[in-house]
Amino acid sequence: MKTQPHQTARHGHLVIIGGHEDRQHAKEILARFVELAGGENARIVVITAASKIADEMWDMYDQAFGDLGVRQRAHLTLENRQDANDEAKLRMVAEADGIFMTGGDQKRLLAIIGGTALDAEMHTALKVRGACIGGTSAGASAMSGHMLAQGKTDLLPAKGAVSLGAGLGFVHRVVIDQHFSERQRLSRLLSVVAQNPYLQGIGIDENTALIIERGRGIEVVGEGSVTVVDGRTMDTNMADIAERDTPELIDVRLHLLPAGSRYYLPAEGEPARPMSPSLRDFLENVTKRNPLS
C-alpha cells in the first residue's frame, strides 16, 4: 500500500517493559529498543516525568544508551503541564526516533503529560512516523487507554481492590501491570478483569518486555513471561457481592507467553499461523492501527 509523502514505511513499535530491565550487562531489552528505533544513529529522547528523582533516572539511562552506541540522546525534562506544551520540547519529540518513559509513578506521569500537545506529538510519532515508544514500570502501565492507578496486591482478588485512570492510549481495551510475577500481582489483575470484563489484563515480569509492532504482531523478550488474563466470556457474581469480598470467577482464560514467544498476523497472501481464537483476538486488538484522534 502506498504511504502518504509525510509518512515512513515503518509500522511503529511499542516496547512495554515490566520494570528492572538490565541496564548494566547485555541490556537485551534496551538494545532491542535501540534497534527498533533505528540503531546507533537513532535520536532517542528519555522522559523522566514519572519520577521525583529525574536527574538520577536520566543519568542511568544516559549511561545505558551511551554504552549501546547511541550518540544522539537527550533528556526531556517535564516538571509541569506548561513544559508539556512548550514548543522546544515538542520539537524534541517530533524529531525523535525513539521515545522512552522511565519508571516512577504513572499517576504523576499522566498528570503532567496527559492530554497535552506533547501527548499528541507522541501519538503522531508512533502512528505517522513509525517511531518506537518504550516504557518501563510506570512508563509501561501508562501506555494503555485504561491505566491501573492503584490497588492492593493480596492473595485473592477482591471487589473494589483496584482503581483505574485514563492512560496515554497507545493500546486500547487492555490494562497493563508490571513487576508481575515478582510482586505476585495475578490477584490484582484478576480484580481488574472481574470489575472490567471489557478489558484484557496484561502482566509483564521484570526484565521482560512485550514488543508490539502495529498492524503486525507481538514478541516477548527478556528473562520472564507475559501473562494475559481474558475474562470476556466469564461468569461472575461481582455485581452482587460486598466491597472487599472475593468474587466467583468462572471460565477466565489465561495465556502465558514466555520470553521468545512470537505471534504475527499474516500479511496479505501469507498462510495464517494456527492459534486459538482468543489469542488471535488479543493479537488483533493490541496490534491494530488506531486512527489518529
Residue type, 20: H
**Residue 6 is a catalytic residue:** no
* C-alpha torsion angle, residues 273, 277, 282, 287 (rounded to 10): 40
Q: What's the rounded Cα separation, in Å, for the pair 29 and 22? A: 7
Radius of gyration of the chain (CA): 19
Residue type, 215: G
Q: Which of 137, 141, 187, 191 is catalytic?
A: 137
Q: What's the rounded Cα separation, in Å, for the pair 53 and 49? A: 9
Length of the chain: 293
Q: Which of 21, 206, 213, 219 is catalytic?
A: 206
Closest C-alpha among 165, 186, 205, 176 to residue 249: 186
Are the CB atoms for 200 and 174 separated by under 8 Å?
yes
**Residue 137 is a catalytic residue:** yes
Q: Dump the DSSP string for 89-108.
A: HHHHHHT-SEEEE-SS-HHH
**Residue 187 is a catalytic residue:** no
Strand partners, 226: 204, 257
Residue type, 195: Q
DSSP H or E run through 131: none
Find the largest Cα–Cα distance for the chain. 57
C-alpha dist (Å) from residue 95 to 74, 182, 286, 288: 11, 36, 26, 24
56: helix, strand or coil: helix
Q: Which of 121, 179, 213, 225 is catalytic?
A: 179
Catalytic residue set: 137, 179, 206
